[in-house]
Amino acid sequence: MIRVLLNTIFFCIESNRPSSALHFIISAEKILELHSDLYFEKVKLLYLSGIYKIISGNSDVGIDMSNKAIQIMNALGDINAVNNHEIYLRKRWRFQNDNS
């Protein structure tokens, strides 16, 4: 269920539907509050929430959130995820990870 929500959030972001994205972000947050063991999903939600902040006009906070998620992925050794998320952030949103 949570993976479907994360994919839906991404789709809403890509479709420029921020209010819909926020609705699904809130739903995902509620589910993840109940599951302390879903680390990947929590990090992905942090990243997507950052992108949501960027498209909602709060770029500084959004960039910080997305970069924090990337840092966590890096600390966990998921280099492929780090690369993919950095590329998306840089190319799609024209921002760069401060740690690159």
One-letter amino acid at 61 equals V
Of 91, 88, 94, 56, the closest CA to residue 69 belongs to 88
Q: Is it the case that residue 38 has pLDDT exceeding 60?
A: yes
pLDDT at 80: 96
20 pLDDT higher than 70 = yes
Q: How far apart are CA 54 and CA 63, in angstroms?
A: 7
What DSSP designation does 99 have? T
Phi, psi of 78 (to 5 degrees): -90, 75
pTM: 0.90
**What are 47-58's pLDDT values in tens digits?**
999 999 999 999
H-type helices in the chain, by residue range?
2-14, 18-33, 39-55, 59-75, 79-93
For residue range 64-89, what is the model confidence (pLDDT) as tens digits?
999 999 999 999 999 999 999 999 99
Judged against a pLDDT cut of 60, whether residue 10 lies above it is answered with yes
The residue type found at 17 is R
